[in-house]
Amino acid sequence: MSNIARHVAIIMDGNGRWATERGLKRVKGHERGAETVRTVTTFASNHPEIEVLTLYAFSTENWRRPKMEVDFLMRLLDNYLKNETETYIRHQIRFETIGDLSRFSPALQRRIAAVKEETKGFRRLTQVLALNYGSQDEIARAARDLCRSGEEITLERLGRRIESARFGPVDILIRTGGDQRLSNFLLWQSAYAELFFTPTLWPDFDPDELETIIAEFKTRTRRFGGI
């Protein structure tokens, strides 16, 4: 039976380098990267297999970047959600998030909640943005919840408590930009994901390359720990 690319997750790396290589400010790379998010998400919404697209947008470690860049990323996210609501509606895309949103401004939290509410009935694709997200933090929070409830910690119970578990296991995990590491992204859900690392910087990533990756995914043997 052919592999099915139901859940695709992407570490979107390379925006800053893309801009630097062109003599531009790093923020220009982030702006171009947001356009790629729109293109790839729209493609995924029309793909016959993809049901969930999870994108690593802002990690718990990204707060260490210069304040000016972080502030710009917050404004970019707000503008993206404001401008892309029409795209979500047109392509019947449900918008969701994983991560701790409490550190974001109240206005941005309201924007996120509003887009979730407006798109909650759509089923063609679920786009999940990982925002202020770190997988180790996510697993630790799930373990703390189990301890507070007095339940014994088991793999099954912990798995149910992990926030990203509701979107199912990752089938394909892609990292753009050339680095070959997971950077604390979906560690639990990617236990048996097929990994793909591409040197393409995120702003240059396109549906054709995603299709090529899916085609290679189809040729791989997934044993899930078996023979």
Assess contact for 105 and 132: CB atoms under 8 A. Answer: no
Instruction: List, in sequence order, every beta strand (DSSP E) within the chain.
Output: 7-11, 52-59, 93-98, 125-133, 172-175, 194-197
Catalytic-residue membership of 13? yes
Catalytic-residue membership of 79? no
Among the listed residues 3, 62, 78, 204, the single catalytic one is 62
Give the chain's radius of gyration (CA, Å): 17
For 51, phi then psi, to 5°, come to -110, -30
Among the listed residues 13, 132, 171, 184, the single catalytic one is 13
Largest CA distance in the chain: 56
Between CA 30 and CA 2 the distance in angstroms is: 36
Q: Which residues does the annotation mark as catalytic?
A: 13, 62
